[in-house]
Amino acid sequence: MWIDNVWHGRAWSWEKMPWLMEQWKRISNGKPFCLNGIQYVADAEKAVELGVDGIVVSKHAGRQVDGACASLDALEKIVNAVGDKTYIMFDSGIRGAADMFKALALGAKFVFVGRLWAWGLSIKGELGVRHVMKSLLADFDILQRYRNYDGFILHHQEYNVI
Answer whether 143's CB lies under 8 Å from 128's CB: no
The radius of gyration of the chain's CA atoms, rounded to the nearest angstrom, is 17
Backbone angles phi, psi at 110, to 5 degrees: -155, 140
* DSSP letter assigned to residue 62: G
Of the candidates 60, 131, 155, 156, the residue annotated as catalytic is 60
131 is catalytic: no
- The sign of the CA dihedral 48, 52, 53, 55 is negative
CA separation for the pair 65, 4 (Å, rounded): 19
Distance from C-alpha of 138 to C-alpha of 136, rounded to nearest angstrom? 5
Indicate which residues carry an active-site annotation: 60
